[in-house]
A = this chain, B = another copy of it.
C-alpha cells in the first residue's frame, strides 16, 4: 500500500471501467458504484472508461458526474456492459500506461468490474502506484457468469446466467418429451462447470432431463459418453444432455479440438475459441447418430444468449450486483481502508455479506466446482449443489406441470 488516497481530503476523482464478458447485471454494479460515489461530498468527479482498460490507455473517458440518475437507473436494468468492455489482458507495460493516464487525470480511486483477469490488472496497476508513491485506491469489483473467483460464495452475473440455463433446459426437456430423441445443449464455462451444472435445476420430476451433465472438472471420455447416452435412451426413450464447452480428455485437450481434428480458432493466448460456434454440439450429435444409430439427435449451443438475453434475470443477482458496486465505494472511501477485491460471503440460508479481500487472493486464480457438488458418476450434481444454487436463482421460476390423467381402455388394439 502506497500513499493513502483518502488522505488528501475532498476532491476525489473516481474512475470505473468494465472488463471481460458482459453479463445481465454488470450494469447494476456500475450504477451502484456511480450513485454511491456521487453521494459522497468528497467525490468531485466520477469518470467511466469506454471498453475497459483499452479506453483508459486511449483516454476514452466519459464524465458520469453528468449522467441523470433516472437514466442511470434505466442503464442498471440493461444487460451487457454499458461502458463497453474489452478482452485485452494487460501486461506490466500496459498497466504502466494505465497508471500514467490515471495520474494525468488525478484519479484517486480506481474501480475495475470484471473477472480474475481484471483483478490481476488491478493488482498490477496498484503496484505501479505504490512504486511511484502515488495515492491511488484500487478496487476490483467481481463479475463473471463462470462463477470461478476463489474465496467468493458466488459471483454477480452467475445467478442470472444460471437461471437462463435452468429455464432453457426446463423448456428443452419438455420439448424433448413431446418429440422424443436426444437433445444436447452446450453451455459456457471453459474451466468451471457451475453454469453447465445449473441445468440440473430444470428437473421437476425424477425422469426429467437433463439426464446427463458433462463438466470440465471431470475427464471426458467419448466411449463412456456414448454408453451413458445409450443407457438413458434405452431407459426413457429419450435423453437430454448438458455439456460444458470446456470438456477435455485426460491430456487436457479440448474435445472440440479432438473431434474436429484440430480445425479450430485460437485467440491471442492460444486458447481454443469455444463460444460463437456450434461445432462441439454438432460433433457430439454426429457421434451419437453414427455410433448409436439414434435418428432424432438435436444439438443447441446456448452461445451469447445465456449471458446477455434481455429479460431473464435473478432478482437476487440484481440486488447483489448492485450491492457489490455500492460496497466497493464504501470500502474504498473508508478511513484506514486498503486496496482489494470485493467478495460475496454467504452468512445464512439465505443471506450474504461482503468482504474486501487482498487483491493477490483473487487475482489470476480460478475456482472450479468443488468435489462435493459433483455426483460419484461424474455425470450429475449432488443435493449439496442444488441447495447451494437454489436461493441464487430468485423467485418466479417456471413450474412445469404434466397431465396425470389415466389411460382410456383400448377397443381395437386389445392386448
| A residues apposed to B, CB below 8 Å | 18, 21-22, 24, 47-48, 51, 58-68, 71, 74-75, 77-87, 100-101, 104-105, 167-168, 170-172, 174-175, 177-179, 183, 202, 275-279, 281-282, 285, 297-305, 307-312, 397-408, 410-413
**How many identical subunits does the complex contain?**
2
Contacts of A299 in B (CB 8 A): 276-278, 303
**Please, how many angstroms separate the alpha-carbon atoms of A48 and B405 in the complex?**
9
For residue A12, give the distance in angstroms from its CB to the closest CB of chain B: 15
Given contacts A47-B408, A64-B405, 18 further A-B contacts (CB under 8 A): A22-B174, A22-B179, A51-B178, A59-B411, A59-B412, A64-B403, A77-B401, A83-B403, A86-B179, A105-B408, A171-B311, A172-B304, A174-B310, A276-B297, A278-B301, A300-B303, A300-B305, A311-B398
Nearest CB in chain B: distance from A5 CB, A: 19
In the complex the two chains form, what is the Cα distance from A55 to B129 in whole Å? 73
Residues of B within 8 A of A172 (CB): 304-305, 308
Min C-beta distance of A13 to chain B, whole Å: 10
User: Does B301 contact A275, Cβ atoms closer than 8 Å?
Assistant: no
Interchain CB contact under 8 A, B278 and A282 = yes
List 16 A–B pairs whose Cβ atoms lie within 8 Å, in order of A's numbering. A18-B178, A48-B405, A59-B412, A62-B405, A63-B407, A65-B405, A71-B403, A77-B401, A78-B398, A78-B400, A79-B174, A81-B178, A100-B412, A171-B308, A275-B298, A282-B282
Contact A178 B84 (CB under 8 A): yes
Indicate if the CB atoms of A178 and B64 lie closer than 8 Å: no
Given A58-B413, A63-B405, A403-B71, does the pair A301, B304 have CB atoms closer than 8 Å? no
In the complex, what residue of chain B is closest to A401 when comparing beta carbons?
B74
Q: A79-B171, A168-B309, A276-B285 are in contact. Are A104 and B300 (CB under 8 A)?
A: no
Closest 7 CB pairs of A and B: A278-B278, A276-B298, A80-B174, A74-B401, A300-B303, A171-B308, A61-B408
Q: How far is the CA of A62 from the CA of B408 in the complex (A)?
A: 5
A264: min CB distance to chain B, Å? 11
B310, A171: Cβ atoms under 8 Å?
yes
User: Would A22 and B405 count as touching, CB distance under 8 A?
Assistant: no
* Most B Cβ at <10 Å: residue of A82, A310, A401: A310
A254 to chain B, nearest CB (A): 16
Bound Cα distance A402, B64 (Å): 12
Could you tell me the distance in whole angstroms from the C-beta of A177 to the nearest C-beta in chain B? 7
**B308 contacts A63, C-beta separation under 8 Å:** no
Would you call A305 and B168 a contact (CB within 8 A)? yes
Residue among A81, A175, A398 with max Cβ neighbours from chain B (10 Å)? A175
Does B307 lie within 8 Å of A404, measured CB to CB?
Answer: no
Report B-chain residues with C-beta under 8 Å of the C-beta of A51.
178
Report yes or no: A85 in contact with B178, Cβ–Cβ below 8 A: yes
Residues of B within 8 A of A412 (CB): 59, 100-101, 104
Q: Which residues of B contact A298 (CB under 8 A)?
A: 275-277, 303-304
Task: Decide: A175 near B307, CB < 8 A? Known: A47-B408, A75-B403.
Answer: yes
Residues of B within 8 A of A58 (CB): 413
Known: A85-B179, A298-B304, A301-B301. A397 touches B311 (CB 8 A): yes
Residues of chain B with a CB closer than 8 A to A68's CB = 404
A170 pairs with B310, CB closer than 8 A? yes
Residues of B within 8 A of A105 (CB): 408, 411
- Bound Cα distance from A398 to B75, whole angstroms: 11
Q: Which residue of B lies closest to A299 (CB)?
A: B276
Residue pair A171, B405 in contact (C-beta under 8 Å): no
In the complex, the answer to whether A178 meets B22 with C-beta atoms within 8 Å is yes
